[in-house]
Structure 1
């Protein structure tokens, strides 16, 4: 069987159903929020590495998702169709966690379901066997700690988030706010320890790089005294040309650290932005590891083995004192 790249729903279903090119191998499906997001392509590369490392396995790793990360309903439909047509196990990164959980509850599949990268809400986690990915609350904590190092007196801040119902992104925002405020359950920063979220923020990108960059440009223009911009995910940096144009507007402030940028993820265009001084901190996840480990976890679940829940993949932090991972990638 050929390695599976960014499959359309039709080709993925044809493969599962035993269509052209399909063999006797059973399918371990990884469904991501959108094929337009380079972060998820790293999960795909991990899936491909697993295929290369396991040529004699009775299982095949299938990577798919909607064409656009904004297509929440499309992702739910893909999962629905895959489970209906038949897979051995499935790993889902839910864009809209409540909607996806509601559909899983309705289907009540008889194959193992796990989450990857993004989890279900706490009340729906009985629907999956385990979660594989980042400790997203901890990621928010680390972003806050780095921001406080750079701005010990606090300041005005804008958080840029993804989809409104994405559990992983919301967990990062909660970790950031709780850490800044020094207390749990903070809905908004209103002066705690000197930090205040500005009017109009947070902003939600719907996982779209073009929208993320437009939001940044608008915020910088409307708030010339802004102290910190926090990209809870790396969306704007996934479009390096646009991100360069946006940060060109504030390079003098970035260089003086009058304005700081703390961003999530450490993909190549993001580490380049860091090296160019267009961000001060990158807090990176490990998506390749997620894609590489997911098939083995699904096989363990199929075999009825006990699997730890959650399975965290760790973080890589790049800052001015220690560029670390970002110095060479």
Structure 2
């Protein structure tokens, strides 16, 4: 009897009925799982999995629960780099310096790339490539829309995310450069007619409700404010109704460019808000495409194939008049 069972087991294994071998992991680590933007990256990752079910690789999406948990993200990166089944990793650094130090400490033998947000320029050699938005160009385009609405300048407040997020800092720099025609200004003090009001930029840790509250406070302190430059769409997609409540009374001023709002991203309720005339313009990223492309780029890196650096995923631009066609299909 025992011999028969052994023969059956051997035959089953020969036919491929034995336990499936664990797949090698193509890890994506994002800033936080509480952000709809990163969920779109996850959807791209899962789409790749569904189309590559027979691959020896699997796209694995992870991150800290909150985008404000910079230390949590660094710990996850460290843990993933220590796993035997991690074949490559793509990281969206919430704090570029902290993630750079984490990579240095881990000294990984697998390919490392960045996704959505990059490391600082001096740490770029720690990763093989960056896949995502041209963040400087994104901010520059936001600045162009604001400048078009208020060509003579005015007062502005910049809404940013985490203080150490390289992608957001690059957007803010691009916006300032577009507004002033100068490069590298850390703050606007009348250049090109533009002045950043006291208390700005505001860092919101990618929290939508915090962003809306910050804008409420800035408007109360600066009733003649001319513009907001919002470097991430958190207030619009993270707190859409409070945003609508705040800017509903500004609808006519926004329509006439008496008041201008340039904002990043085109996810969640953002495009609908643009259609309602409650933002001057949106400049959006393509997070689904980032998540979908990342596994293939990681496999190319594993196999030693040439990969461009950076790999940009493009932008979408939406205004009230273009909401029906502004998103890439």
Specify if TM > 0.5: yes
SS of residue in 2 equivalent to 1:183:
coil
Q: Deviations over 1:36-89 (max 9, x none)?
A: 010001100100110111111110001110000000000000011111123000
Distance 1:109 1:63 in 2: 19
Map of 1:26 onto structure 2: 24
1:298 paired with 2:275, answer no
Aligned to 2:256: 256
Aligned to 2:109: 110
Is 2:208–2:236's contact at 8 Å kept on the other side of the alignment? yes
Corresponding residue SS for 2:189: coil
Whether the 8 Å CA contact 1:89–1:112 is kept in 2: the answer is: yes
Is the 2:250–2:278 Cα contact (8 Å) retained in structure 1?
Answer: no
Mapping of 1:33-52 within 5 angstroms? Answer: 33-52=31-50
Equivalences for 1:264-275 in 2 at 5 Å? 264-275=264-275
Classify the secondary structure of the residue corresponding to 1:242.
helix
2:131 is paired with a residue whose SS is strand
Deviations 1:204-246 (A, max 9, x none): 0111111111111111222111111111110101221221122
1:80-99 → structure 2 map (5 Å cutoff)? 80-86=78-84, 87-99=86-98
Give the conservation status (yes or no) of the 8 Å contact 1:275–1:327: no
Q: 1:309 to 1:324 in 2, by over 3 A?
A: farther
Distance 2:287 2:244 in 1: 24
Where does structure 2 lack aligned partners over 5 or more consecutive residues? 1-18
TM-score for both structures, normalised by structure 2: 0.90
* CA deviation after TM superposition for structure 1 residue 318, in Å: 1.2
SS, match of residue 269 in structure 2: helix
Q: Secondary structure at the match of 2:82?
A: helix
Q: 1:53 aligns with which of 33, 51, 54?
A: 51
Cα-to-partner distance string for 1:173-209 (whole Å, 9 max, x where unaligned): 1111112111211111111121111111110011111
- The list of structure 1 runs, each at least 4 consecutive aligned residues, that deviate by more than 4 angstroms after superposition, is 326-329
Q: Quick one: structure 1 residues 108 and 327, their matched pair in 2 at CA, closer, same or farther if it must change by over 3 Å?
A: closer
Q: Distance in 1 between matches of 2:201 and 2:47?
A: 37
Distance (whole Å) between structure 2 residues aligned to residue 253 and residue 226 of structure 1: 12
Number of residue pairs matched by the alignment: 309
Alignment partner, residue 207 of structure 1: 206
Q: Superposed, which structure 2 residues align to 1:229-248 within 5 Å?
A: 229-238=228-237, 239-248=239-248
Contact 1:274–1:326 (CA under 8 A) maintained in structure 2: no
Q: Distance in 2 between matches of 1:36 and 1:322?
A: 29
Q: Which residue of 2 aligns with 1:158?
A: 157
Q: CA separation in 1, counterparts of 2:46 and 2:21?
A: 17
Taking a change above 3 Å as real, the CA distance of residues 69 and 325 of structure 1, as seen in their structure-2 partners, is farther
| Residue in structure 2 matched with residue 101 of structure 1 by the alignment | 100
When normalised by structure 1's length, the TM-score is 0.90
Alpha-carbon separation, structure 1, partners of 2:197 and 2:144: 20
Deviation at 1:265, TM superposition (A): 0.4
1:80 & 1:25 partners in 2: Cα distance?
A: 20
Distance 1:51 1:224, change over 3 A: same
